[in-house]
Amino acid sequence: MHNLLQGKRGIIFGALDENSIAWKTAERVHQEGGTFVLTNAPAAMRLGNIAALASKTGATVIPADATSVEDLEKLIDQATEILGGKIDFVLHSIGMSVNVRKGNHYTNQNYDFTEKGWNVSAVSFHKLMQVLYKKDAMNAWGSIVALSYMAAQRVFPDYNDMADNKAFLESIARSFGYFFGRDKKVRVNTISQSPTATRAGQGVKGFKGFIAFADKMAPLGNASALDCANYTVAMFSDLTRMVTLQNLLHDGGFSNMGVSQEIMEMFE
- Residues in a beta bridge with 35: 9
What are the DSSP calls for 129-153, one per residue?
HHHHHHTT-EEEEEEEEEEE-GGGT
20 annotated to bind ligand? yes
205 annotated to bind ligand? no
Who's near 248: CB < 8 A, 6+ residues apart?
189, 190, 191, 192, 231, 235
Who's near 152: CB < 8 A, 6+ residues apart?
163, 166, 167, 169, 170, 192, 247
Catalytic residue list contains 231: no
Cα gap 100→102, rounded to integer Å: 5
- Count of residues in the chain: 268
**CB contact burial 164-199 (16+ within 10 A = b; e otherwise):** bbbbbbbebbeebbeebeeebebbbbbbbbbbbebe
* Sign of the CA dihedral with 102 first, then 213, 44, and 175 last: negative
56 annotated to bind ligand? no
Q: Which of 111, 133, 149, 231 is catalytic?
A: 149
Q: Which of 106, 133, 159, 231 is catalytic?
A: 159
21 annotated to bind ligand? yes
144 annotated to bind ligand? no
Distance of CA 62 to the CA centre of its chain: 18
Sheet holding 60-61, edge to edge: 60-61, 35-39, 9-13, 87-92, 138-148, 187-193, 247-250
* Sign of the CA dihedral with 2 first, then 197, 35, and 187 last: positive
Annotated binding site for NAD(+): 14, 20-21, 94, 166
Annotated binding site: 14, 20-21, 94, 166
Residues annotated as part of the active site: 149, 159
